[in-house]
């Protein structure tokens, strides 16, 4: 498996996941702090549209170099995918806010992409901290992603700290707040319903009510299939370019949900909570929110079928 991003020379997502796991285990063992920054370039898509793919690639290479110069030698920088990057701070994690502002300032400087091709971008940065925002890798990633989307939907070119939420702890369930909204009313209503069912399921498992848990699980599976059908119809109607990958993820998630039934029968509230949180929340943040952005743009341009 390759651990290097060929375009920028940075560690890639696989390297990031591996390093994050090692860093987090070390922080737990040493009772130390850790900070995670997830950042997304604001306005990058316009570069490809105006100047072409080659200019976009050049901007990513320059941005990667500016990020390298922004961090210390103790920090770990990686390119996750597209125009998304991550930084792990294992020493002096309290520097996270200052580093985020430094990164934004360095990326705000104009990019020279060739003759007559000067362009300015911004950056939206989400910050998650161990142990304040969570104890596990997936939880911290979700918090950082959510904070990054909050920064972007709030106008971009700023950083947002992850909030301490209840859904990382047993018995509390998932707290559905504004950072999970796609802006598509029908989709958001269905997401809320799924979250309510997930929380009911977590409660039933936590109190040992296995029969009730299985009944709730069956309802959750049916509602999930209905929800995926709704999303797929919207994507097909709007000509969403990432629909094939999104459909594949739906099939994968349904398979995961079927396997989850065995975990519910075995019991274990914390394990079920973590699995369900990763299964639902991660999909909303990484797949459904970008879909919502596209659908809203299509609606605003008057080129998409009507939807709520």
Q: What's 12's DSSP letter?
A: -
- The set of catalytic residues is 83
What stretches of the chain adopt beta strand conformation (E)?
34-42, 76-81, 84-89, 111-112, 118-119, 122-130, 159-161
CB distance 70 to 99 below 8 Å: yes
Six-digit token string for 149: 């989307």
What span, in angstroms and rounded, lies between the C-alpha atoms of 99 and 169? Answer: 29
Dump pLDDT digits (tens) for 101-115. Answer: 999 999 999 999 888
pLDDT of residue 59: 96
pLDDT at 277: 65
Name which of 154, 88, 157 is nearest 127 in CA terms.
Answer: 88
Q: What is the pTM of this model?
A: 0.60
- The CA distance from 64 to 26, in Å, is 27
DSSP for residue 239:
T
- Render pLDDT for 119-142 as a digit per residue (tens, 0 to 9): 999 999 999 998 888 888 888 888
Mean pLDDT of the residues in the chain: 86
* Angle made by CA atoms 165, 255, 167, in degrees to the nearest 5: 10
Which residue, chain included where needed, has tokens 């792990």? Answer: 88
What is 117-159 written as a DSSP string?
-EE--EEEEEEEEETTT-SSHHHHHHHHHHHHHHHHHTTSSSE
d(CA 286, CA 239): 19
Q: What is the pLDDT of residues 200-250, one digit of tens each?
A: 887 787 777 888 888 998 999 999 999 999 999 999 999 998 899 899 889
Contacts of 49 (CB under 8 A, 6+ apart): none
Percent of the chain with pLDDT over 70: 89
Q: Is 70 exceeded by the pLDDT of residue 305?
A: no
Residue-level pLDDT at 201: 83
| Pairing, β 122-130 against β 159-161 | parallel
Q: What is the pLDDT of residue 265?
A: 66
The candidate with the shortest Cα–Cα distance to 205, out of 175, 176, 167, 171, is 171
pLDDT, residue 173, reads: 63
Take residue 110 and report the two structure tokens written for it: 């104009």
**Quick one: pLDDT at residue 106?**
97
* Number of residues that make up the chain: 308
What tens digit of pLDDT does each residue of 159-200 get? 999 875 544 433 456 777 677 788 899 999 999 999 888 888
SS3 category, 169: coil
Please give the pLDDT value at position 154. Answer: 85
Instruction: Report residue 284's pLDDT band, with 50, 70 and 90 as the boundaries.
Output: confident
Tokens 């994050």 correspond to what residue?
20
């Amino acid at each position: 498996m390759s651990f290097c991003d060929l375009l920028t020379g940075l560690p890639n997502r696989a390297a990031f996941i591996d390093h994050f796991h090692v860093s987090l285990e070390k922080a737990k063992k040493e009772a130390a702090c850790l900070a995670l920054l997830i950042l997304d370039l604001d306005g990058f898509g316009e570069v490809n549209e105006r100047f072409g793919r080659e200019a976009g690639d050049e901007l990513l290479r320059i941005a990667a170099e500016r990020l390298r110069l922004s961090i210390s030698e103790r920090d770990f920088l990686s390119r996750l995918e597209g125009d998304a990057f991550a930084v792990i701070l294992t020493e002096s994690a309290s520097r996270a806010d200052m580093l985020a502002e430094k990164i934004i300032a360095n990326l705000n400087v104009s990019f020279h992409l060739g003759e007559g091709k000067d362009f300015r971008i911004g950056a939206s940065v989400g910050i998650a901290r161990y142990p304040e925002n969570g104890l596990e890798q997936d939880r911290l990633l979700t918090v950082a992603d959510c904070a990054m989307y909050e920064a972007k939907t709030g106008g971009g070119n700023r950083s947002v700290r992850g909030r301490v939420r209840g859904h990382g702890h047993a018995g509390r369930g998932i707290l559905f707040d504004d950072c999970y909204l796609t802006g598509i009313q029908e989709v958001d209503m269905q997401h809320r319903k799924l979250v309510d069912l997930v929380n009911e399921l977590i409660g039933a498992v936590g109190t040992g009510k296995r029969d009730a848990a299985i009944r709730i699980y069956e309802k959750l599976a049916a509602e999930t299939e209905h929800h995926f059908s709704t999303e797929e119809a919207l994507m097909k109607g709007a000509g969403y370019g990432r629909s094939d990958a999104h459909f594949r993820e739906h099939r994968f998630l349904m398979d995961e949900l079927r396997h989850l039934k065995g975990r519910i029968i075995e019991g274990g509230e914390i394990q079920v909570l973590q699995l369900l949180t990763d299964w639902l929340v991660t999909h909303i943040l990484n797949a459904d929110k970008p879909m919502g952005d596209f659908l809203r743009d299509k609606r605003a341009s008057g080129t998409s079928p009507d939807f709520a």
